[in-house]
A and B are shown apart, each in its own frame.
Chain A
């Protein structure tokens, strides 16, 4: 039998192709008779489109076609759907303005897609795009969500008065207000969760083709969930039957949420490929990604925490205005509600919580899930409040947290979730050790001796992963299922191909999932290949988002494995002339209990495909099973991050001196991959807190941070190396005991870092990102005060 593979640091199976330049990303696919597309985008944040003249562009060299919103309307191409219906405080459905694939009559943000130009080469399409004459009548624009609700603000959509999509609430307001009235202490913060641009290094791309012979379409697309993309595009937009559309998302260069959605470009190239009878490829330039990828966050929040005199949390009150951008992106509506307010209990026993969320349309790019999606925003609220309360009440911040930690499970929060398991003291203890909190005072002295400020910050986060079950999500407004599918195909000589509806765009599923399968089947990992990202190969799938892959996709695979083993037992029993109930299975070996009789998995597989000696009366030949898995609950990864910063008094420059992260992800399949996920998440979180800020000009609505030079994603020398560790309380409701790890870093990091910086500066709050300029100003203001 082979050594156990679960828990092993195994180098990734997928690395060889990426390291040798053999990855196949969407833009790498060039089809016979390929054409190239460029989108004409609105240069105005808000404008009437009076007319569009195509003639000059059509005459340009190499140009094959120019299509506008009018062409799509004439062809009855629908608008982009939103996948989650939020019901407002009055029981009314949210406002869902039409989201046309090419603008109809009006452009509503800078970058709004107005026309597509298709030509023989990308250069020709680019040149011709400049010749499409759009007569715009600019309108006043509004980019700030609070201003968009004010009287007299420019109105984006006829059916969304006051630019309001919904006002939604969760919790018992009267009870919360009552608790605040009796509190010994109230901590109040006004927080901005800054708008972010996801910036996967691979820009979005789509290549649609149509086969007249088969009357079918193929769309190659940089996407995180090809089956969902297909379902939305066929059923809701193009009105095509799904069996005539194949969606392939092969190698995808990072997603972080931004490639979950059905985008207009995907639809338009697919549609155009049929008009032209040739494949149509579009690849975003980075500047296009900045204006047209769905952005993240953008909350304005007033948050209050009520405590008794001993620091026990009594209640929390939160009011958030969420900027949705100009239209509802695919899952936009559930992010600041279902994935945000439900997380406000954090790791604590706060008995009463009320949260009201107002979602607002503005003349900006649509906002949707970005790594963490609602949960970083919630963690920021909770952990900034808790740290601030500790300072105000002069209680050690770790101690205040411990006084309020949930310690008995399952635990029903006042905001709908039921945590199955956790051990928050364990992750806190381990993080404090790893961070050498005991040595902090000495380090602070050293920094002071050097003329530097030093601060320490904590964040004890919780997240809810693998959003589920479908029935509950459905009752909350989800318009899709939230299960996952997997298939195990055992080949005659015992090697295995696994098909998963999860999608890897960096997470390493080809290795992690193969570890799970090879371990259970007692075979070397080389004998197991994982296939994902192609609707013509994989039976079905909901894809990868919300750190759901191992917990939901992995479990579907385990369920399929169970069926394989169950059938294998029947075959083995027949081969060994034993009763099925006497056959035991352990990692590749079928044994008859109490005897030395055994059959190896490979022998059983062979018998299934060469069924000469086979129980034909009871069993079909072959060894191929699939399973769909709909989880019973979310999983609840949690952990503690502690960081220390040093601030230069003269420049305001923040240097992260050390960072300790201890996470509880339940069982871990491949620690090396998990650590990588944590590192990556942490740096995205650090980016939000330190360097990244998406800004639109208030007057013109122009995106002023539209390139890597203006919008700074962290570079290698902006960030430290990390100390990471894990503690383990296995998830109670999936067979692997796994919870998911993809987003944790991005969820916990901003609060930890801002807690450290405000500690160093001795200020109550500071706006993210804490650039040198922002920090320097805060220091000057403090001096002046």
Chain B
């Protein structure tokens, strides 16, 4: 059964015809063609699909699109400034080489953005624990951890 869903994505109102079982990530990738949100697993383990829903980081592969009816969704495409300037967290990933193949990166950044709000000056251990739901196979996490520590400080410093 096709259903109509409407929500705000990256500040713009959108609506789409989906099936009841259509996942939010499928709506984002296929209907809206916002392909920065990735799919790395089928068991809600990898975090590559992380987006913000009403300000909270969620795995968009683990809810259906209908559950996001009326919600405010932020994807990686909506994080940089309108003029293209990177958000301080994105800039920290670049400066600290916190990404290699880039596939886990959007999910890492979306997760880090939420974490940094509550942790303006995090320890390395806190960052590692915050990454419990995000897998990276390339970086060994070392530079992701450095990036998030730096990004959180930059955000707190109002950069």
Binding site for B on A (CB under 8 A): 11-12, 14-25, 27-28, 30, 123, 199-203, 251-254, 256, 283, 285-287, 505-508, 672-673, 675-676, 679-684, 707-709, 713-717, 719, 721-722, 745
Structural contact, B103 and A201, CB atoms closer than 8 A: yes
Tell me if B39 counts as interface (CB < 8 A to partner A). yes
Q: Which residues of A contact B38 (CB under 8 A)?
A: 25, 201-202, 253
Structural contact, A679 and B142, CB atoms closer than 8 A: yes
Structural contact, A721 and B142, CB atoms closer than 8 A: yes
Q: Of residues 34 to 62 in B, which have CB atoms within 8 Å of A's CB atoms? A: 34-43, 45-46, 48
Q: Which residues of A contact B136 (CB under 8 A)?
A: 201, 716
Q: Which residues of B contact A16 (CB under 8 A)?
A: 86, 94
In the complex where A12-B97, A21-B34, A201-B48 touch, is A680 in contact with B105 (Cβ < 8 A)? no
Structural contact, A25 and B100, CB atoms closer than 8 A: no
Q: Of residues 10 to 25 in B, which have CB atoms within 8 Å of A's CB atoms? A: 19, 21-22
Structural contact, A11 and B97, CB atoms closer than 8 A: yes
Structural contact, A286 and B132, CB atoms closer than 8 A: no
Q: Which residues of B contact A11 (CB under 8 A)?
A: 94-95, 97
Tell me if B6 counts as interface (CB < 8 A to partner A). no
Q: Of residues 54 to 112 in B, which have CB atoms within 8 Å of A's CB atoms? A: 75-77, 79-80, 84, 86, 90, 93-95, 97, 99-106, 109
The docked-state distance in angstroms from the alpha carbon of A25 to that of B105 is: 13
* Shortest Cβ distance from residue A756 to the other chain B in the assembled complex, whole angstroms: 18
Pairs of residues from A and B, 3 with the lowest C-beta to C-beta distance, nearest first: A21-B36, A18-B102, A253-B103
Structural contact, B141 and A683, CB atoms closer than 8 A: yes
* Shortest Cβ distance from residue A128 to the other chain B in the assembled complex, whole angstroms: 15
The docked-state distance in angstroms from the alpha carbon of A23 to that of B36 is: 7
Structural contact, A505 and B43, CB atoms closer than 8 A: no
Tell me if B3 counts as interface (CB < 8 A to partner A). no
Structural contact, B145 and A23, CB atoms closer than 8 A: no
The docked-state distance in angstroms from the alpha carbon of A16 to that of B80 is: 10
Q: Which residues of B contact A719 (CB under 8 A)?
A: 140-141
Q: Which residues of B contact A506 (CB under 8 A)?
A: 100-102, 138
Known pairs A254-B138, A506-B101, A716-B144 / 8 extra A-B pairs, C-beta < 8 Å: A19-B102, A25-B35, A201-B38, A201-B40, A203-B40, A506-B138, A708-B41, A722-B140
Structural contact, A19 and B90, CB atoms closer than 8 A: yes
Q: Which residues of A contact B41 (CB under 8 A)?
A: 286, 707-708
Could you pull out 10 A-B pairs where Cβ atoms are within 8 angstroms?
A11-B97, A19-B80, A19-B102, A23-B103, A27-B35, A253-B104, A680-B138, A713-B137, A716-B127, A716-B145
Q: Which residues of A contact B77 (CB under 8 A)?
A: 20-22
Choose from A12, A201, A745 the contact partner of B46 (Cβ within 8 Å). Answer: A201
Choose from A201, A251, A283 the contact partner of B104 (Cβ within 8 Å). Answer: A201
Tell me if B128 counts as interface (CB < 8 A to partner A). yes
- Chain A residue, CB-CB nearest to B146: A721
The docked-state distance in angstroms from the alpha carbon of A673 to that of B96 is: 10
- Chain B residue, CB-CB nearest to A682: B140
Structural contact, B86 and A716, CB atoms closer than 8 A: no
Structural contact, B142 and A22, CB atoms closer than 8 A: no
Q: Which residues of A contact B154 (CB under 8 A)?
A: none
Interface centre among A505, A507, A708 (most CB of B within 10 A): A708
- Chain A residue, CB-CB nearest to B133: A715
Interface centre among A12, A24, A676 (most CB of B within 10 A): A676
Q: Which residues of A contact B100 (CB under 8 A)?
A: 254, 506-508, 676, 680
Tell me if B131 counts as interface (CB < 8 A to partner A). yes
Structural contact, B45 and A708, CB atoms closer than 8 A: yes
Structural contact, B139 and A27, CB atoms closer than 8 A: no
Q: Which residues of A contact B140 (CB under 8 A)?
A: 676, 679-684, 719, 722, 745
Structural contact, B139 and A679, CB atoms closer than 8 A: yes
* Shortest Cβ distance from residue A764 to the other chain B in the assembled complex, whole angstroms: 29
- Chain A residue, CB-CB nearest to B127: A716
Q: Which residues of A contact B109 (CB under 8 A)?
A: 19
Structural contact, B36 and A15, CB atoms closer than 8 A: no
Q: Which residues of B contact A721 (CB under 8 A)?
A: 124, 142, 145
Q: Which residues of A contact B48 (CB under 8 A)?
A: 201
The docked-state distance in angstroms from the alpha carbon of A30 to that of B32 is: 12
Structural contact, A201 and B43, CB atoms closer than 8 A: no
In the complex where A201-B137, A707-B43 touch, is A716 in contact with B97 (Cβ < 8 A)? no
In the complex where A19-B94, A202-B38, A719-B140 touch, is A708 in contact with B135 (Cβ < 8 A)? yes
The docked-state distance in angstroms from the alpha carbon of A715 to that of B40 is: 15
Tell me if B121 counts as interface (CB < 8 A to partner A). no
Q: Which residues of B contact A20 (CB under 8 A)?
A: 36, 76-77, 79-80, 84, 86, 90
The docked-state distance in angstroms from the alpha carbon of A445 to that of B77 is: 52
The docked-state distance in angstroms from the alpha carbon of A493 to that of B101 is: 32
The docked-state distance in angstroms from the alpha carbon of A770 to that of B46 is: 23
In the complex where A11-B95, A16-B94, A19-B90 touch, is A676 in contact with B139 (Cβ < 8 A)? yes
Q: Which residues of A contact B139 (CB under 8 A)?
A: 676, 679-680, 683
* Shortest Cβ distance from residue A626 to the other chain B in the assembled complex, whole angstroms: 27
- Chain A residue, CB-CB nearest to B103: A253
The docked-state distance in angstroms from the alpha carbon of A597 to that of B39 is: 59
Q: Which residues of B contact A252 (CB under 8 A)?
A: 101
Structural contact, B42 and A21, CB atoms closer than 8 A: no
Choose from A22, A23, A676, A707 the contact partner of B143 (Cβ within 8 Å). Answer: A676
Tell me if B33 counts as interface (CB < 8 A to partner A). yes
The docked-state distance in angstroms from the alpha carbon of A285 to that of B41 is: 6
Structural contact, B93 and A15, CB atoms closer than 8 A: yes
Interface centre among B19, B134, B135 (most CB of A within 10 A): B135
The docked-state distance in angstroms from the alpha carbon of A473 to that of B81 is: 52
Q: Which residues of A contact B103 (CB under 8 A)?
A: 23, 25, 200-202, 253-254
Q: Which residues of B contact A508 (CB under 8 A)?
A: 100
The docked-state distance in angstroms from the alpha carbon of A202 to that of B99 is: 14
The docked-state distance in angstroms from the alpha carbon of A683 to that of B145 is: 14
Structural contact, B19 and A123, CB atoms closer than 8 A: yes
* Shortest Cβ distance from residue A279 to the other chain B in the assembled complex, whole angstroms: 15
Structural contact, A505 and B101, CB atoms closer than 8 A: yes
Structural contact, A287 and B86, CB atoms closer than 8 A: no
* Shortest Cβ distance from residue A529 to the other chain B in the assembled complex, whole angstroms: 17
The docked-state distance in angstroms from the alpha carbon of A682 to that of B132 is: 19
- Chain A residue, CB-CB nearest to B134: A716
